[in-house]
Structure 1
Amino acid sequence: MFKKLISIIAITLILAFTVVGCGGNQESKQEEPKKEKNEVTKVSEKDKYGGVFEGRISADPPTLDPAHGTDSTSAKVIRNVFDGLVEFNKDLEIIPAIAKSWKVSDDGLTWTFNLRENVKFHNGNKVTADDVIYSFTRLLDPKTKSPRAWLFEGVEGAKSFQEGKAEKVTGLRATDDYTVEIKLTEPFTPFLSVLAMENAAIVSKDAIEEYGEQFSQNPVGTGPFKFVEWKHDSKIVLEKNEDYYLDGRPYLDKLLFRIISEGTSAFAEYEQGNIYQIDSDIPDGQMSRVLNPDGEFADEFRKVTRLGTYYFGFNVQQEPFNNKKVRKAINYAVNKKVIANVLKNGLVKPAHGILPPGMPGYNPDLEGYEYDLEKAKQLLAEAGYPDGLPGTYELSYNTAKAHQRISEAVQASLKKIGINVELMSMDWGTYIQKVDNGNTEIFRMAWIADYPDADNFLHVLFHSDNFGSGGNYSFYKNEEIDKMLDKARAMKPGQKRIELYQEIEKRIMDDAPWVPVYYYTTPLLVKPFVHNYVMTGQDELSFTDVWLEPKYQ
């Protein structure tokens, strides 16, 4: 996703993560751009209101239904249309949203949420505890087919409900109109963070019954902006929710997300002032201009360290990738340093593991797989392929020039050890369906944290309960790892839990279902007249607090 950087040494951009609290939440500090040369005078609160934020997304979202969203493109829109009980702030701390307060029992099993009494859906209906119960039950309902049903599978009675043995989930209860009680079968350390995910957003039962399967095209939530229009592959339009429960928010009248797939086109639109923000795929040829500390973009450029890892995965149930030695051989054959330092020109760090820096449990001493063609050839020979793999295999990726260049580099590396791969590119919606269904051999993917806990990487992406759309795109299964992951997510925060996750990561790396390539960093351009735009280590926040200087409204 990120493009080549020129003259990186000339730029001093530092971003740090520090641990906040006992729950392992991370503080993500986004480097601020330089002050404008002609800094605007102080703007009154009144003058912050109005205007349209002209934004961009790089693909048509597969869905706008929170129950089905599993990608960052969908999430960018969903988080502005919907709210959950809680949400993340800029420091990745949990703060109130629809729930104004909460408490948890001493044994960590019972969570009680007190709801605000002034929250309305965009159709005008008031939100009550019954809406929360409906939303969470819907996520668990097999009829919904949500790939994120696992979020609430630890709730008491969830299994019986999913198996059709009970009509409701006993662990989800409305004790009055504005109080929700959730009982878990066992402690789940990151449960509160899970509730901040877009999938746990509160949805309108009336709207779902009205639109049926078309709810994903006509979302109705409680968020700061209401859905207005979606012209596929062209634009999505949202307008201000005048009845939003936070007084005086949002500032903007509208959000307009133009769908622009290529970074070159998006950058041209940004330069012309037609969009106000661009990230990730700033064109290579423009990076020297972007990074010039005295240049035209000096007031607009930021660099954000992300809780994310870019990788190539294997479908480990397909031959010959069901052979661990073949997978390890490919790991040794891929030159991650060249990809990071040449193709990405030093903006990103080569990955030596699954967990990225800043994530609790990240192990800087994990060895990983250094580039070693002789070792790769030796492992192939031990696997029974002394002359390389017979035939040609598919390496698939979603359409983007950055992914293409990296895939071509991997293709060239594998050819050196006798493995021929054919590159297959497709649009994001088609691609994610292909990966979800396991119709892959080698595939490009990335994961940026939904919540700042190792569970979100290791359990979601490698537990056998999460095959396919659940996150385990490699269809990796190791019963011992499953048991260790189940144990870790129920442990109290602390060093023992961290050490267990580090042992899990080490064992998964030895099994080699992935080729981790690099840890994410996002280059970002934001127009200087845009204020309060925040991208965290996970993703950008909603536009609730964003405002434009009066002359740009």
Structure 2
Amino acid sequence: MLKRLLRASTAAAFLSLMPLSVMAQDTPAPGGDIVVTYKDDITTLDPAIGYDWVNWSMIKSLFSRLVDYTPGTATIVPSLAESFTVAPDGLTYTFKLRKGVKFSNGREVVASDVKYSIERAVDPKTQGPGAGFFGAIAGFDDLTGGTATTLSGIETPDDGTVVFKLSRPDATFLHVLAINFASVVPKEAVEAAAGDFGKKPVGSGPLVLKDWTIGQTLVFERNPDYFQKGVPLVDKVTIEVGQEPLVALLRLQKGEVDIAGDGIPPAKFLEIKNSPDGAEMIVDGEQLHTGYVTLNTKVKPFDDVKVRQAVNMAINKERITRILNGRATPANQPLPPLMPGYDTGFTGYAYDVEKAKALLAEAGLADGFETVLYSTNTDPQPRIAQAIQQDLAAIGIKAEVRALAQGNVIAAGGTEGEAPMIWSGGMAWIADFPDPSNFYGPILGCAGAVQGGWNWSWYCNEAIDKRAIAADSMSDPAKAAERQAVWGKIYTDIMADAPWVPVINERRVVAKSLRMGGPDNIYIDPTRVINYDAIFVKP
């Protein structure tokens, strides 16, 4: 009963908030090769490490997890597991594995692979950003603290059974088991790759990596041994990297490209939208997204809350929405408006240059200071960073804009932790799963403020961390509304510390060729970004 209630209540809440626009129905047909373009190369395909919106979709299709989502929805269904049960107290989850599922190296997937994969994701030596998701599993603190090498809360009584024992109830646990960090990998392949598993992935998903020419192409092909028949629908997906978005869009109009992965540059949006084929080429929809500026609380002068509050007041968010052709709305809190828990009565920091100057003066910085603002280098992100730069200059802050490839920005924020400020556009947070907790742990919680993490403000409020754990321990579906309100208050309280500047909630716009079929929600999938398993070429 608990299993079904958890699944149904979360999915229903999400789907009621995110209507899925379906175009004229095309009949899915197997076969076909498609081409997708991106400006930046892919950094890694290791599910324990990869965590940007581009590689997320590819990793989803290379690997399998115990549970997954019905395409285009937030409905959890068994995947590697053929069935599962949840104890009445919410502390024990038991999964029965499908028989005969194979990794692409030919070996059968067994229960010990599940245990190994999740322990690898949690192990600090992996330096992955997803460890904190598994915090409810018994033994988590021992493994992350270095006093154990395994998770005592994962048991494998036989090759076909995995049992999770939690130290506390966790309302998100089924979602956690559906995210990429819970993907199942073979230990022997990880060890054989000798630290390069991200370039030599071995999984049991619907796609397999056949070739990767660094800086040029990645070629994925249908996995003939995938356990779900008829998935994927396409035979081959070629990812071309190093493609400027404008060039990619022109190639798409000529039929040489099927999906322009970086979207439609603002300068071309109205032209494409108003073209004869615009309605069929553009997929435009809401997403659980917040774009923000991180303020590194460990770097002076951003260790002073008054400075962080001043920056919040200095940025003209309306101007940024105009740069995006109105495809966004100003944000005032970490949660996007579509997410349960969003506080509709919270107004945040108003744009107020004079108050921002006054706060800087109170912080002893009446003459301003110099800093660095990092941004990705794909249009329109450098232009947005320059707009923020101009806003900061108005209160005396001289910010040097460093527009770099996405991987370099991620490294500056999480691996090296050196970036004073990062405009997250192009990498901004899109929910891994439709629950308010997902906007906390990885990007604002203490567990994410580690090397390799995505908490680039390096903000760690232990009191709020305890409140977050308490909120996720409210696993009774009857308390869902109460839990959402608790999460909403956590985010508005965080804004008093101002580790971020929430800037925009942006719509997702995808450009696809006329030969691509299917409903919009597989191109703007709430849990995958683009669902490579479900897209297809019209017959």
Question: Please, which of 155, 170, 193 is the counterpart of residue 137 of structure 2?
Answer: 155
- For 1:540, the equivalent position in structure 2 comes to 529
Cα distance, 1:164 vs. partner? 4.7
- For 1:218, the equivalent position in structure 2 comes to 200
Q: Map Cα deviations across residues 389-429 of structure 1 (whole Å, 9 max, x no partner).
A: 13x21111121221111111111111111111111111111
Q: Map Cα deviations across residues 252-288 of structure 1 (whole Å, 9 max, x no partner).
A: 2111111135211221221121211125541233212
- For 1:360, the equivalent position in structure 2 comes to 340
- Is 1:276 matched up with 2:258? yes
Note closer, same or farther for the CA distance 1:167–1:473 as it changes in structure 2 (3 Å cut): closer
- For 2:232, the equivalent position in structure 1 comes to 250
Q: Map Cα deviations across residues 234-267 of structure 1 (whole Å, 9 max, x no partner).
A: 1100111111101232222111111135211221
Question: Please, which of 404, 418, 421 is the counterpart of residue 396 of structure 2?
Answer: 418
Note closer, same or farther for the CA distance 1:286–1:164 as it changes in structure 2 (3 Å cut): closer
- Classify the secondary structure of the residue corresponding to 2:287: strand
**In the TM superposition, what are the counterparts of 1:260-299 in structure 2 within 5 Å?**
260-292=242-274, 295-299=276-280
Cα distance, 1:20 vs. partner? 8.1
- For 1:530, the equivalent position in structure 2 comes to 516
- Is 1:26 matched up with 2:4? no
Q: Distance in 1 between matches of 2:122 and 2:379?
A: 38
**In the TM superposition, what are the counterparts of 1:316-395 in structure 2 within 5 Å?**
316-340=297-321, 342-386=322-366, 388-390=367-369, 392-395=370-373
Q: Distance in 1 between matches of 2:399 and 2:143?
A: 45
Cα distance, 1:140 vs. partner? 2.4
Note closer, same or farther for the CA distance 1:503–1:406 as it changes in structure 2 (3 Å cut): same
- Classify the secondary structure of the residue corresponding to 1:213: coil
Partners of 1:393 and 1:441 within 8 A in 2: yes
- For 1:179, the equivalent position in structure 2 comes to 161
Note closer, same or farther for the CA distance 1:380–1:209 as it changes in structure 2 (3 Å cut): closer
Question: Please, which of 438, 444, 466 is the counterpart of residue 483 of structure 1?
Answer: 466
- Classify the secondary structure of the residue corresponding to 1:199: helix
Note closer, same or farther for the CA distance 1:134–1:477 as it changes in structure 2 (3 Å cut): closer
- For 2:296, the equivalent position in structure 1 comes to 315
Q: Map Cα deviations across residues 65-105 of structure 1 (whole Å, 9 max, x no partner).
A: 11111211221221111111111221211122111221111
- Is 1:427 matched up with 2:405? yes
Note closer, same or farther for the CA distance 1:163–1:460 as it changes in structure 2 (3 Å cut): closer
Letter in 1 for 2:151: V
Partners of 2:339 and 2:434 within 8 A in 1: yes
Q: Map Cα deviations across residues 348-386 of structure 1 (whole Å, 9 max, x no partner).
A: 111011100211101122111221111112212222223
- Classify the secondary structure of the residue corresponding to 1:269: helix
- Is 1:232 matched up with 2:214? yes
Letter in 2 for 1:350: P
Q: Distance in 1 between matches of 2:144 and 2:312?
A: 39
Partners of 2:266 and 2:323 within 8 A in 1: no
Compare 149-158 and 210-219 and name the one that shifted more.
Answer: 149-158
Q: Distance in 2 between matches of 1:472 and 1:455?
A: 14
- For 2:112, the equivalent position in structure 1 comes to 130
- Classify the secondary structure of the residue corresponding to 1:331: helix
Q: Distance in 1 between matches of 2:178 and 2:530?
A: 12
Q: Distance in 1 between matches of 2:336 and 2:461?
A: 22
Letter in 1 for 2:344: P
Q: Distance in 2 between matches of 1:537 and 1:169?
A: 30
**In the TM superposition, what are the counterparts of 1:493-504 in structure 2 within 5 Å?**
493-504=479-490
Q: Distance in 2 between matches of 1:203 and 1:109?
A: 25
Q: Distance in 2 between matches of 1:20 and 1:200?
A: 18
Partners of 2:266 and 2:325 within 8 A in 1: no
Q: Distance in 2 between matches of 1:183 and 1:426?
A: 43
Q: Which runs of 5+ in 1 are unaligned?
A: 1-18
Q: Distance in 2 between matches of 1:465 and 1:78?
A: 23
Q: Distance in 2 between matches of 1:419 and 1:53?
A: 47
Partners of 2:37 and 2:261 within 8 A in 1: no
Partners of 1:328 and 1:376 within 8 A in 2: yes
- For 1:15, the equivalent position in structure 2 comes to none
Q: Distance in 1 between matches of 2:280 and 2:105?
A: 41
Partners of 2:305 and 2:497 within 8 A in 1: yes
Letter in 2 for 1:31: S
Letter in 1 for 2:523: V
Note closer, same or farther for the CA distance 1:274–1:383 as it changes in structure 2 (3 Å cut): same
- For 1:549, the equivalent position in structure 2 comes to 538
Partners of 2:38 and 2:245 within 8 A in 1: no
Partners of 1:310 and 1:519 within 8 A in 2: yes
Two-structure CA RMSD over aligned residues (Å): 2.0
Q: Distance in 1 between matches of 2:442 and 2:190?
A: 27
Q: Map Cα deviations across residues 144-198 of structure 1 (whole Å, 9 max, x no partner).
A: 2322222223211233344454453221111222111011110111011011111
Letter in 2 for 1:499: A
Compare 404-413 and 49-58 and name the one that shifted more.
Answer: 49-58
Q: Distance in 2 between matches of 1:379 and 1:460?
A: 29
- For 1:474, the equivalent position in structure 2 comes to 457
Partners of 1:66 and 1:199 within 8 A in 2: yes
Partners of 1:289 and 1:296 within 8 A in 2: no
Partners of 1:281 and 1:402 within 8 A in 2: no
Q: Distance in 1 between matches of 2:108 and 2:532?
A: 23
Q: Distance in 1 between matches of 2:417 and 2:501?
A: 17
Q: Map Cα deviations across residues 184-227 of structure 1 (whole Å, 9 max, x no partner).
A: 11011101101111111010122123222121111010011111
- Classify the secondary structure of the residue corresponding to 2:435: coil
Q: Distance in 2 between matches of 1:167 and 1:540?
A: 34
Q: How many residues align?
A: 519
- Classify the secondary structure of the residue corresponding to 1:216: coil
- Classify the secondary structure of the residue corresponding to 1:113: strand
- For 2:420, the equivalent position in structure 1 comes to 441
The TM-score with structure 2 as length reference comes to: 0.92
Q: Distance in 2 between matches of 1:20 and 1:138?
A: 27
